[in-house]
Amino acid sequence: MKISPLVPADFPDMPDVKGLKIKTYEARVVYKNRDDLLLVKFAQGTQVAGVFTKSRTRSASVEWCVKHLASGAQGRLLMVNSGNSNAFTGAAGERSVVGILSHLAEKFSIKSSEIYTSSTGVIGELLSGQDLLDVVDVDKVSAVENAYIAAADAIKTTDTFAKYATRSVKIGGERVTINIIAKGSGMIAPDMATMLSYIFTDANISKNALQKILNVAVGKSFNSITVDSDTSTSDTVLLFATGASDAAHIDDAGDVRLAEFVAATDELCLEMAQQIVKDGEGATKFITVKINGAEDDRAAKVIGLSIANSPLVKTAIAGEDANWGRIIMAIGKSGEMADRDLIEIAIGGVKITQNGQVVDDYDETPVTQHMQGQYVDIDVNLGLGGGEARVYTCDLTHGYIEINADYRS
Amino acid sequence: MKISPLVPADFPDMPDVKGLKIKTYEARVVYKNRDDLLLVKFAQGTQVAGVFTKSRTRSASVEWCVKHLASGAQGRLLMVNSGNSNAFTGAAGERSVVGILSHLAEKFSIKSSEIYTSSTGVIGELLSGQDLLDVVDVDKVSAVENAYIAAADAIKTTDTFAKYATRSVKIGGERVTINIIAKGSGMIAPDMATMLSYIFTDANISKNALQKILNVAVGKSFNSITVDSDTSTSDTVLLFATGASDAAHIDDAGDVRLAEFVAATDELCLEMAQQIVKDGEGATKFITVKINGAEDDRAAKVIGLSIANSPLVKTAIAGEDANWGRIIMAIGKSGEMADRDLIEIAIGGVKITQNGQVVDDYDETPVTQHMQGQYVDIDVNLGLGGGEARVYTCDLTHGYIEINADYRS
C-alpha cells in the first residue's frame, strides 16, 4: 500500500469528552497485532443523530442503527469492528448482529436497542462475534495513551493514517468539547474502505436539533467528497451528545447559543472528509471544485460532482494537463441547466474561458504551474443564478488501478 | 497509442447503396497524409432521422442538425470533418458552420438547411473552413477502392481501426441495402473521441418511421455502452434513407414489411456500438452486463450502467478478480429498487449469490477461469419484476490512465 503524499503534517492532541468511556480491544477477527474492536460507553440520556449510506443493499449493522435511531432510542453503547463488514451475509448476518448486541446489552445492563454498531471490512463473510465477545467478557482492553487516537486506529482498514480532530466551543458561556474520529481510505471500496465517522460531544442538545445540525454538516462534507463515485454498503456518520458538560440544554437547532457548536461541527466533518480524500490510494493531488452561478445549490452540487467524478477530468489532473475541454464536457453531461456561452472556467485562479470560448490572451503557463502543485482549484461560474457548491476529490492515477485491480489477493 | 486486443478479425465487403455518392478529401485541417473530410451527396427526397448527445454544452454542428431535423428538412448532403470539432468556439463557431454550409449549398445548388454536418477533433479551436472549401472546390477527391471504407477512415480520430458493417434485407419482396459507418475510440473523450455513426439505406421509408426505428436501435446499442461514463459534446447518429431501391414506400414503423429492416438496423447499431467499446484505449476485456428481474426496463438499464460505470468493478475485471462484492455495491448505489436478499449474481454463467448470500458450495475456480478470457459476462437477477437490459463496457486499465493523463501533448 502506498502512503499518499497528501497525509497531513500535524495531528491534534485529543482532550476528553465528559460522559463517555472509550475502550479498544484486539479481537483478532481478521487483523492481528492491532486493535480491531472499539466500544464507547455513554452516560444515561445520551442523544444520538445519524446519517447513513443511501445504498439499496446496505448492511445489517446499518439497518439496525436506522431502525433504532428512528424509534428515538438513546445511545448507551457504540460498537465498531474492523476486518469483517458482515455485509451481504443474509438472514444469518442479521441474526449475528442481534446475537452480539443482546450479549453486550446483558453484560452492560442496557437494552440492545440502545447499542449503535458498525462493521467494516471484507464483505460476504459472516461475522460470528465469538472473538469479539470473548475479549469484551474478560475485559482484555488494550493499554492506550490517548483513547481517541486508539479508537481512530481500531476502526481503520485500508487507511494509511488515523483520522481525528477536536474543537472546544462555548454554548451559553459554558465550554463543551467536540471530538471526531473517522475512517475511509478515499477509494470508498465496498469490501474494506467504508467511510465511518463518529462525533462525540458533552453538549446537552436535543436529538432533533442534533439531527438537523448533522444533516447540514454531512451535506457540506462527507456528501461533497468523491473519489471514484462508488458508494459503500456501510457508510455511517453518528453524533453522540452526552449532555455531561455544564452547558444548558438546548432544544432548537436554530438557537443562537449553538452558533459556535454548529460551525465547529461543520469544520470537523469537513476536515475528516478532506482527510479521507487525501488518504485515497493512488491520490497525488487534492482537488477543490467550486461551482457558482448555477440554477440553485442542488444543481451546483450535481455539476460539481459530475466534474469531480469524471475519469477524464481526474486523469488529466493526474497528468498535470490543463485540459479545460474535459471540464466543459463534464458540465454538459451533468444534465443540469447550462448555457455554453455563459460558462466561465478558471483553474488556479486564472480565467480560461468566457462568452463560450477561450479568453483572448489565454496563456496556459501559470495554469500548468498551478497544476504541478498538490492542490488544484477548479472554479466554474455558470452565470445563470445564485446556486453554489464546493466538492472535493483527488486525481485518478496508476496507483488507483494497481490497488484496485486485484484488491482481495 | 495501443492497439486493443479486441479488434475484430474480419471486416465485411461493403456494397453500394442506391441514391447516394461518397467522396473523401485530404483537407489537412489538422491531420496530414490521410483523408479528413467526408461528403455524401443524396438523391432528392432523402429522408433523415437523427439522435444526438444530451449534453447541455453541445457543439454548433449538433445544434444545426437538431434544428433542421426538427423542421423536417430532407437530407441532400452530409459533411463530416475530423481533427477539429469546432466545439466551444462560441458565436464565431456558429458563424463558421453557417459560412461553410452556405458555400457548399451554393456549390451543390441545394439549401443549406438540407445539409447535415458533424465535426470531431480538438475542441476550443475555431474551424475556419477555408481548407475544407478549397479541396471541395477543386474537387480534389481521393482515389479510393471502397467508398464506405474510405468514409469510415476519414472520420476517425483516435480510433485504431475503421468501423463499418452492412446488411441486405427485403422489404415487401424487394431487396434494400443498409450500410453503417461509425467512429469513436471508446474513451468517449470530448476533445477527439466523439462517437459518430451514419446509416445509409436505399429503402423508401417515411421520416417519422425512420426516427422511431432509430430511437429504438440507438437505445439498445449506442446508449447502452459506456467506457468511462463521460459524454461527448458532439455525439451524433444520423440515418439517411434515399428511397432509390425498388422497395415500396412505407409510412408506418409498425408495418410488418419492415420487420427485417428493423432487425437489421438494430444489429448494425449494436455491432458498431460494440466495436467502439472494443476500440477503447487500454481495454483488454469486453464486458456484457445483463440485468433481469428489475422493477422495469428503465430501472434495469440504470442498474446495468451503474455496474458498467463503476471504477471498482472495472478495475477488478482488469485484474481478473471475481470480486462480486463490488457488483452488489454498484447495484446498491444505483438508487433503483433492490432487495438485498433476492439478488442473484452470476459471472460466466456460474451462480455466485442467492438469498442475499454466497451460494453454499461456491467454488471460485471456474469464475476466475472465465475472467481470464477476453469476454466477461455478468448476469444479475433482481427477483423483483420483468425489467431487463443489456449494457456493454470494457475494463479500466493502466492503458486508460496512460492515454488520458496527458492526452493533448
For residue A328, pLDDT beyond 80: yes
Tell me what the mean pLDDT of segment A310-335 comes to: 89
Query: DSSP string of A198-212?
Result: EEEE---B-HHHHHH
Per-residue pLDDT tens over the stretch A287-307: 999 999 999 999 999 999 999
pLDDT, mean over chain A: 90
pLDDT value of residue B190: 39
Residue of B nearest to A403 (CA): B315
CA distance A220 to A203: 22
Which residue stretches of A181-258 are H helix?
A: 207-220
**pLDDT band, very low/low/confident/very high, at B100 (cuts 50, 70, 90):** very high
For residue B224, pLDDT beyond 80: yes
Question: Chain A 87-126, CB below 8 Å of chain B: which residues?
Answer: 87-93, 122-124
Which chain A residues are closer than 8 Å to B187 by Cβ? 312
Tell me what the mean pLDDT of segment B358-362 comes to: 90
Per-residue pLDDT tens over the stretch B309-337: 888 899 999 999 988 888 988 898 888 99
Q: Is B57 on the interface with A (CB under 8 A)?
A: yes
CA distance A351 to B74: 42
Q: B305 vs chain A: nearest CA distance in angstroms?
A: 13
Name which residue leads in pLDDT, A323 or A79. A79
pLDDT value of residue B108: 94
CA distance B147 to A189: 49
**pLDDT band, very low/low/confident/very high, at B118 (cuts 50, 70, 90):** very high
**pLDDT band, very low/low/confident/very high, at A384 (cuts 50, 70, 90):** very high
Percent of chain B with pLDDT over 70: 93
CA distance B44 to A182: 68
Tell me what the mean pLDDT of segment A301-330 comes to: 90
pLDDT value of residue A406: 60
Q: Is the dihedral of CA B247, B248, B251, B253 positive or negative?
A: negative
User: Quick check: A88 and B353 in contact, CB under 8 A?
Assistant: yes
**pLDDT band, very low/low/confident/very high, at B156 (cuts 50, 70, 90):** very high
Q: B15 vs chain A: nearest CA distance in angstroms?
A: 37
Fold of A20-278: L-amino peptidase D-ALA esterase/amidase (3.60.70)
| Active-site annotation holds for B46 | no
Q: A149 vs chain B: nearest CA distance in angstroms?
A: 30
SS (H, E, C) chain B: CCCCCCCCCCCCCCCCCCCEEEEEECCCCCCCCCCCEEEEEECCCCEEEEEECCCCCCCHHHHHHHHHHHCCCCCCEEEEEEEECCCCCHHHHHHHHHHHHHHHHHHHCCCHHHEEEEEEEECCCCCCCHHHHHHHHCCCECCCCCHHHHHHHHCCCCCCCCEEEEEEEEECCEEEEEEEEEECCCCCCCCCCCCEEEEEECCCECHHHHHHHHHHHHHHCHHHECCCCCCCCCCEEEEEECCCCCCCCECCCCCHHHHHHHHHHHHHHHHHHHHHHHCCCCCCCEEEEEEEEECCHHHHHHHHHHHHHCHHHHHHHHCCCCCHHHHHHHHHHCCCCCCHHHCEEEECCEEEEECCEECCCCCCHHHHHHHCCCEEEEEEECCCCCEEEEEEEECCCHHHHHHHHCCCC
Per-residue pLDDT tens over the stretch B42-98: 999 999 999 998 887 788 899 999 999 999 999 999 999 999 888 878 888 899 999
Active-site amino acid positions of A? 194
C-alpha cell at B401: 490512465
Which chain A residues are closer than 8 Å to B408 by Cβ? 321, 323
Q: B49 vs chain A: nearest CA distance in angstroms?
A: 23
* CATH label, B286-405, candidates 3.10.20.340, 1.10.579.10, 1.10.3470.10, 3.40.1110.10: 3.10.20.340
For residue A270, pLDDT beyond 70: yes
For residue A143, pLDDT beyond 60: no
User: Hey, are the CB atoms on B57 and A331 less than 8 Å from each other?
Assistant: yes
Q: Which of A158, A306, A357, A395 to mutate to test the interface with B (most CBs of B within 10 A)?
A: A357
Which chain B residues are closer than 8 Å to A332 by Cβ? 53, 55-58, 231, 233
Which chain A residues are closer than 8 Å to B321 by Cβ? 405-409
**pLDDT band, very low/low/confident/very high, at A122 (cuts 50, 70, 90):** confident
**Nearest partner of A329 among B310, B400, B81, B123, judged by Cα:** B123
Which chain B residues are closer than 8 Å to A398 by Cβ? 398, 401-402
pLDDT value of residue A8: 80
CA distance B174 to B288: 36
Q: Is A396 on the interface with B (CB under 8 A)?
A: yes
Residue of B nearest to A358 (CA): B124
For residue A398, pLDDT beyond 90: no
Q: Is A407 on the interface with B (CB under 8 A)?
A: yes
Which chain A residues are closer than 8 Å to B223 by Cβ? none
CA distance B298 to B302: 6
CA distance B297 to B307: 15
One of B53, B89, B117, B194 is an active-site residue; which one?
B194
Q: Which residue intervals of chain A bear CATH 3.10.20.340?
A: 286-405
Tell me what the mean pLDDT of segment A116-123 comes to: 90
Tell me what the mean pLDDT of segment A112-126 comes to: 90
Q: Which residue intervals of chain B bear CATH 3.60.70.12?
A: 20-278
